[in-house]
Amino acid sequence: MQIQRFTARDSKSALAKVRANLGTDARILSTDRSELGIEISAVTGESFSESASPKDTLNNQSANEITLGYLDRELKELRQVLYNALGERAWQDVADKKPVSSTVEQRLVTLGLSKLAIESIMLEVDTSQGLNSAWASVLAVLLSSIEVAGGDSASEAPKAIIGANSGGRSIVTQQLINSSLLHLKPSKILLISATEDPSGALIDFCKEKKIKRIQTSASGEVAQLLTRFKGRRRIFIETRDMSPALEFDDPVLDIFSDKSLAVEAILVLSAELQSEVLAATIKHTEHLQLGGSVISGFSDALALGPILDMLILERMRVIGVSNHSEAMLRAATPNLIINRAKHLARKKMGRTNAGFQSSKWSRSA
C-alpha cells in the first residue's frame, strides 16, 4: 500500500488534489496541519481495499468530516482565548449556569476579580431581569463597595507611610506634603525618616521645599521625636519595608506601639502587586489605626483586579490615587477606579485577541 501526501492552503484544495490524483474512491488516512497548510495522507481505493473500512471512502461525508475537524480545531483555539481571558477561573465554573449569570461573571473575571469577590457581588445581584439590568446592578454594587475620603485628612495626628515599596512610599509622602503646603508653612511640617535606607528622592524633595527632616534608624526614637516636635502641625514618618512574616516583631510596627501618640497609618497599596500579597499586607496592619489607603502606580498598572478585590472584600477606605508624574494625590472616586479597571480589561482583551489572530494567520500562511 503506497501512501501519498497532498498539501494545499486549505482542506478543500487538498481534497481536490486527492481526487485528481487518486480518484473519487481514494481512502483518507489522516489530515494534518503543516507549515504549508493542510496535509492529507491518502491511498487509492484498490490498494486499500483489503484493510480499509467502508467509512473511509472519499465521499461528501468524509469531506464534511475533514472540514468539521478543521472547524473543531479553530473552535478549540477560540475557547483557549476565552479561557485565558477568564484567568485562573475554570471554564466549567460557568458552563452549567444560566446565560445571564454566566455572562456577568465572565465580565467580572475579565476585570480581574477573584472568585470570592465575584461571589460576594453576585449575592446582591438579581439576574432574572436580563443582562442589562443585572450588569447595572453589578456596577452599582461595585461603586457602593468602594469607600473614599478626602486626600488631606483634617486630623493632625502623625502619619506613618507604610506598605508598597520604597519608591511608592516616597512618592506618596511627597504628594501628601505638597497637599499640606497648600495651607501650611514649611516650618510647620516635619518628616521623620525611620529607616536605615531613606529615599534619596525624598531627601532632595525636603531640601527643595525647606522641610525639616530627621533621620533615625531606631524605631524607639520615633516616640521621643514625636514628643519633642509635637508643636508641628503635620508630621510624616518615612518607614522601612514591612515584614509580614515577622508578625508583631516587625520593626515597622514599633512606631505604633505607644498608643498615646496616636500615630495614623497611611497604607500604600501598589497596583502592581497580586491579591495574595495585598491581602497579607492588609492582615499585617489590621490592628493599626488607619487613616486610609492610597493606590500607588495607578496610571502604570496593567490591571486593577487585585486592588478591586481588596477594596471589595476588605472595605479599605481610599484617600487618593498616586501617579509618579503628579505633584499631589488625585482624588479617588469609585467611578475613577471602576472606569480605569474596565479600560485596562478592554486593553488586555484586545492584546489577547490580537495575539490569537497573529498566531492564527502565521500558522495558516
Domain boundaries, the chain: 4-83, 86-145, 147-332
Q: Is the dihedral of CA 227, 252, 158, 326 positive or negative?
A: positive
Question: Count of CB atoms within 10 A of residue 193's CB?
Answer: 22
What are the grid coordinates assigned to 51, written together? 484493510
Q: Lowest mean pLDDT of 47-51, 204-208, 317-321, name the range.
A: 47-51
pLDDT of residue 52: 45
Q: How far apart are CA 249 and CA 230, in angstroms?
A: 27
Which residue did the predictor score with more confidence, 356 or 132?
132
Instruction: Report whether pLDDT(38) > 90.
Output: no
Q: Which residues contact 50 (CB under 8 A, 6 or more apart)?
A: none
pLDDT of residue 56: 46
When pLDDT is cut at 50, 70 and 90, the band that residue 54 belongs to is very low
In what helix (H) or strand (E) does residue 322 lie, and over which residues does it extend? strand 317-322
- One-character DSSP codes across 72-120: HHHHHHHHHHHHHHTTTS-THHHHTS-HHHHHHHHHHHHHT--HHHHHH
**Rounded-to-10 torsion of CA 23, 24, 25, 30:** 90
Which residue did the predictor score with more confidence, 186 or 110?
186
Which residue did the predictor score with more confidence, 14 or 225?
225
When pLDDT is cut at 50, 70 and 90, the band that residue 213 belongs to is very high
Instruction: Report whether pLDDT(284) > 50.
Output: yes
Average pLDDT over the chain, rounded to an integer: 82
Instruction: Report whether pLDDT(58) > 60.
Output: no
What are the grid coordinates assigned to 116, written together? 470570592
pLDDT of residue 21: 84
Instruction: Report whether pLDDT(351) > 80.
Output: no
Q: How far apart are CA 159 and CA 192, in angstroms?
A: 10
Which residue did the predictor score with more confidence, 363 or 198?
198
pLDDT of residue 208: 97
Q: Is the separation of the CB atoms in 337 and 311 below 8 Å?
A: yes
pLDDT of residue 329: 94
CA angle 49, 51, 52 (to 5 degrees): 70
Instruction: Report whether pLDDT(6) > 90.
Output: no
Q: How far apart are CA 132 and CA 66, in angstroms?
A: 40
Instruction: Report whether pLDDT(91) > 50.
Output: no
Q: For 195-226, give one letter per residue: b (16+ CB within 10 A) or e.
A: beebbeebbebbeeeebebeebeebeebbebb
Strand 317-322 to 290-296 pairing: parallel
In what helix (H) or strand (E) does residue 204 lie, and over which residues does it extend? helix 200-209
User: How do residues 224-242 score in pLDDT, each as one tens digit?
Assistant: 999 999 899 999 999 999 9
pLDDT of residue 94: 47
CATH class of 147-332: alpha beta
User: How do residues 302-328 score in pLDDT, each as one tens digit?
Assistant: 889 999 999 988 888 899 999 988 999
- With H, G, I as helix, E, B as strand and everything else as coil, classify residue 327: coil
Residue whose entry in the numeric block shows the C-alpha cell 501598589: 270
Q: Say which amino acid occupies 214.
A: I
Q: Lowest mean pLDDT of 3-7, 148-152, 178-182, 193-197, name the range.
A: 148-152
When pLDDT is cut at 50, 70 and 90, the band that residue 354 belongs to is low
181-208: average pLDDT: 95
171-198: average pLDDT: 95
66-75: average pLDDT: 57
Residue 330 is classified by DSSP as B
Q: Is the separation of the CB atoms in 44 and 80 below 8 Å?
A: no
